[in-house]
Structure formats: C-alpha cells, structure tokens
Amino acid sequence: MAHKSEQMQESVVAEIQKEIQKQGCPDDIQQVKQYVKTLKKHSAFYGASKLLNLARDKQRTLRQQQENNQQVDGSEKV
C-alpha cells in the first residue's frame, strides 16, 4: 500500500498531466516552469520533457505567426 505522501505526489503529477491534456500547454511561461519543476520533483521526467516540448513548439508557432504577420504588413505598405 502506498504511503500518503506517495499518493499525494501521484495525485499532483496526475493533476498536472490532466490539466495539460485538457488545455494543452499553458501560455504563461511561469506556469510552465512551475509545472516542470513540480514534475521533476516527483520524478515525472517524461511528463516534464513532454511539457517542455509542447512549450517549445507553441513558442515556435507563435514566432512564425508573428513573422508572417510582419511580412504581410510590410508588403501591404509597399
């Protein structure tokens, strides 16, 4: 039987993973950092790595969208 602290750790990790599955990667970088820190603390390295990859992909997509918008804005002014 698992100890209370182990059950609590598992529930914290499960809660974070459920939140990520439901809403995807958080927009707030501080929230991402807190989730990763918590996941690592509870030895959920796969979940932490997956979250970091999601955050990286999301940032890459946002940057590409911003670059495309700037290019469109620049070409309309010419």
Q: DSSP secondary structure string, 16-71?
A: HHHHHHHH-S-S-HHHHHHHHHHHHHTT-HHHHHHHHHHHHHHHHHHHHHHHHHHH
Q: What is the pLDDT of residues 12-21, one digit of tens each?
A: 889 998 988 8
Pull the structure tokens for residue 50: 């997956």
Evaluate if residue 55 carries a pLDDT over 90.
yes
Q: Which two tokens stand for residue 71?
A: 């290019």
- Predicted confidence at residue 20, as pLDDT, reads 86
Token pair for 17: 């993973």
Please tell me which residue, 27 or 61, carries the higher pLDDT value. Answer: 61
Average pLDDT over residues 36-50: 91
CA 21 – CA 65 distance, rounded (Å): 24
Mean pLDDT for 72-77 is 68
pLDDT of residue 23: 83
Domain regions of the chain by residue span = 28-78
